A and B are shown apart, each in its own frame.
Chain A
Amino acid sequence: MRIVVCVKFVPDIQSDRQLGPDGRVVRDGGDGTLNELDENAVEAALALAEEHDGEVVVLTVGPDDAVDAVRKGLQMGADEAVHVLDDDVAGSDAIGTARVLAAAVRHLSADAPVDLVVTGMAGLDGLTSLLPTALAEELDLPALPLASSLTVDPDARTATVTRRLDHATETLTADLPALVSVTDGLNEPRYPNFKGIMAARKKPVTTLTLAELGVDPSTVGAAGARTRVLEAAPRPPREDRVLVTDTGDAGTRLAAWLVERKLV
């Protein structure tokens, strides 16, 4: 079974994240990392590959630093890494990114069929959650998003997931090849161990350009984006803040404050 995991390089969520004047997330500063939720995707792929004797390819689209995201995937145990690196990708929205990733998955499929594409449920930078389903649509694959459980039956060639929505819980199944996005409730990602880190140094990272993928640069990146940030500003600090230490009447004071502020 051949599994492609799409991962993203994002600013560390614990860091002071910023938007630039163009409204894009500032991605330099050296505190970037593999999107935490994508670690669950890599883990899911590795576990399936171990169970069903498969191989895992980690794939990313992004600037030079983004190679760190696929390197982390290799350290965790992925077999191969692909990095789509092209200046014309800069400024892509989720739909443009899906288009580039889809081209890369098709490129990989030419070597050997891809049975499963796995992604995290969202990137912790933009948090749009659009990418998984947009990618399935681009690849014309059935989508099983937001998996909190995932099983693959290699004989029947099906994947089955359970997902929890606001108002219902669903079990969905589809024939392979398929796309699955996973939540952080699915598994506990493994930490790369020393052996994995040493082995990752020897594993190849293939770099691909849009031209090699046959993607028209005008359809992706800032040129192809269908939305444009007009303005981005840090949210003003909250004013008139009250901090009290309870000396016996804090509950009463809180109630009075809520009434005074017309919040009840």
Chain B
Amino acid sequence: MTATPVLVLLDHAADGTLRPPVRELLTLARDLAGDAEVHGVWAGGEDVAAALPVLGAQGVTTVHRLVTDADPHLSSVLADGLQAALGASGASLLLLVSSFENKEAAARLAVRTGAGVVTDADGVTLQEGQVVAHKTVLAGTWTTRCAVTAPSAVVTVKANSVAAQDAAVPSDPRVVDLPVAVAPSSTRVRVVERTEHAASGRPDLGSAHVVVVGGRGTEGDFAPVEELADVLGGAVGATRVATDEGWIGHDAQIGQTGVTVSPRLYIGAGVSGAVHHRGGMQASGTIVAVNSDPDAPIFEIADFGVVGDLFTVLPQAAAELRRLQG
């Protein structure tokens, strides 16, 4: 399998800048490709030019730019395009950032092409020519290694699974237009409205290295949570209770049905650690919990637990970090 190129979907924002986890996937793809090339696939009408310096630094040789009249936000259209790009690149392994949209397209590809698919991997290796995906399951309590036995593999990879590194030798990526014949059935869903979420000025919750989360214990006051997040350059998340109460937008909800996060550092403030929330964060690298209730279940999984009042502990920690950072 290593003899063929590895293909990576180049997720990007509306202004054409690559989403941060794409660099991580390209680093991983280079490792898996060995002597073969790393190709990218660009879906959407945005200008690829802004992304080329990053792609060159990552050693990408070819970018397949999908050309279609249909809306690539539809998973069926994206699947049509990815299928075409797999054909054009000759890749037998496609890596995608784990997101709901990408998993929808991955499912369709698996049905159409017979590929084996693994979602939410936190590592990918090759073993005797087979793609092996590593993943954490059952709310972060078990680790598995799963081999793809089909001739081609589609793997979605969680953010923060790989440390992004530039290639030793940069490349000058070639951009190739790839006309996509969209199946008539792919356009039966119509996008009535699509609103991009406003940028917060903080990193994306799903890919941030540091996430500070507020729960019921904040009683609606997220100021200390936001202050600590900003000192750490992190994102702000919330529990289901906090979003249901309207204290913060639903975008911020972390849990099995909200955003799943696996940052290097998770800090939960006033978070009890209900099982649904744990399912969305338990795979985090280091877990810190601050809660006034010593019986809160989150302490069972915390590397550093503070039984105390978040309104004094968080500002004190933020002030000390600012002092240490000078």
Contact = CB atoms under 8 A, between A and B. Distances in A.
Interface residues of B, dominant DSSP: mixed
A98 B109 CA distance: 13
B250 A185 contact: yes
Contacts of B324: 255-256, 259
A134 B13 contact: no
Contacts of B195: 168-170
A227 B116 contact: yes
A183 interface: yes
B254 to A, nearest CB: 12
B146 A164 contact: no
Nearest to A231: B145
B189 A245 contact: no
A227 B114 CA distance: 11
Contact of B188 (A175, A231, A256): A175
A235 B137 CA distance: 9
A235 B111 CA distance: 32
A93 B250 CA distance: 31
Nearest to B251: A164
A226 B111 contact: no
Contact of A264 (B205, B251, B314, B321): B321
Given A246-B312, A263-B265, A130 B303 contact: no
Interface residues of A, number: 81
Interface of B: 13, 73, 75-76, 99-101, 103-108, 110-112, 114-120, 127, 132-133, 136-150, 185, 188-197, 204-206, 210, 232, 250-251, 256-257, 259, 264-265, 275-276, 279, 286-288, 290, 294, 299, 301-309, 312-321, 324-325
Given A17-B141, A137-B111, 11 more contacts: A19-B144, A23-B144, A127-B137, A127-B256, A167-B204, A228-B146, A232-B144, A235-B143, A241-B304, A246-B312, A251-B318
Interface of A: 13-14, 17-19, 23, 25, 37, 93-95, 98, 121-122, 124-134, 137-138, 140, 142-146, 160, 164-175, 183-185, 225-235, 238, 240-246, 249-252, 254-259, 261, 263-264
9 contacts: A172-B189, A226-B149, A226-B150, A235-B140, A250-B313, A251-B314, A251-B317, A258-B288, A259-B321
